[in-house]
Amino acid sequence: MSLSLTRDCATTSITNILATFYCRFRRNYMSENFAPLSISQEAVAEAKAFNKEMTEQLRALPDPWSFPPTVTRERRLQGLGAFPIPTYSEQAEDLEIEGQHGSIPLRLFKADKNSSKGVIIHFHGGGFVFGSASFQDPYLESMANNTGLDVVSVEYRLAPEHPFPQGSDDCEAACHWVLNEGASQYGWDAFALTGESAGATLALTTAVRLRDKHGMIPFKALVLLSGWYDIGLTPSARLWGEEVLFPTTRDLQMFRRHFLLGEENAEDPAVSPLYARLEGLPPTLLSVGTEDPLLDDTCFLASRLKSAEVETSLEVYPHGCHVFQSFDLALAKLSTQRIDSFFRTKFGST
């Protein structure tokens, strides 16, 4: 998959104006920071082999859109999709808070040693349609233990049963609870946001919401993995096509259709944070793989954050698939180490 955007840069849509800016950005900042550090050929070869195996596995599965979302969610619980049966942590504590649309379950992971009294708020991925706060327990448990920070994962409402803005409202309500009642109950005095895929979208839109609606920038760090920042689709998402390595262009279009059941504009900053004002946001780590249809989303966002004078770290992993951190790969281990280190540094615990 080529990173060249020459043809796209020649068009006049807003997205492709961003592409032009990215071309300029890539020659400068990205040329020096394309990968986080030296990545072994063995790790790259492993990622390539994994992508090939995953593609073959996905080809053998039924079309996920031939089922209602409720059925696909149940198949995920049974390990009948691309992912194994979820592994649940005994370290997790289930909580429940109230929000605008009703109760919101939370999943809390307490750090082994929490001297900083910090907490990371996490939003899961799944295209706003799938996923759960309990589907990445090992990852979040490890994050808590390796950073010395508590982690709270949010079970926000999913589309199409609960279309925009209900999931976004839940994420905002969860942040308010963490910043107020949760802080009082658990002694938290420092905060961060993270998410992957649609969860990264929600993390960014929530940070912007809190800034714009409440004048709050309470976070020490944002860590955003493989985010979807233009729901209208950036060039890499549009051109990905039906390449089976998930998500396909059709998958993204279906997610958008379920998420935006009304007349919402896909370029509304509340939906697509690539179009939001980004000034004043906290230091941000962006991570993405080159075999991800949302590659442009991350690279475009990096350029916009840099232009807004936000401290930005961009890490692009060769041959990493979408949210490759979810799999047992050397690239994933390197990335999670970098994420943990970023949190420790920004919380002053290194």
Write the pLDDT tens digit of every residue in 273-286.
999 999 999 999 99
Tens of pLDDT, residue by residue over 325-335, are 999 999 999 99
pTM attached to this predicted model = 0.90
Tell me what pLDDT residue 80 has.
84
Tokens at 343, concatenated: 């949190």
Tell me what pLDDT residue 31 has.
36
* Cis peptide bond upstream of 247, omega within 30: yes
Tell me what pLDDT residue 350 has.
54
Tens of pLDDT, residue by residue over 69-81, are 999 999 989 988 7
CA separation, residue 334 to residues 14, 40, 149, 210 (Å): 35, 11, 19, 32
Tell me what pLDDT residue 83 has.
80
Asked whether residue 90 carries a pLDDT value surpassing 80, the answer given is yes
Q: What percent of the chain has pLDDT over 90?
A: 80
126 CB contacts (<8 Å, ≥6 apart)? 132, 158, 197, 198, 199
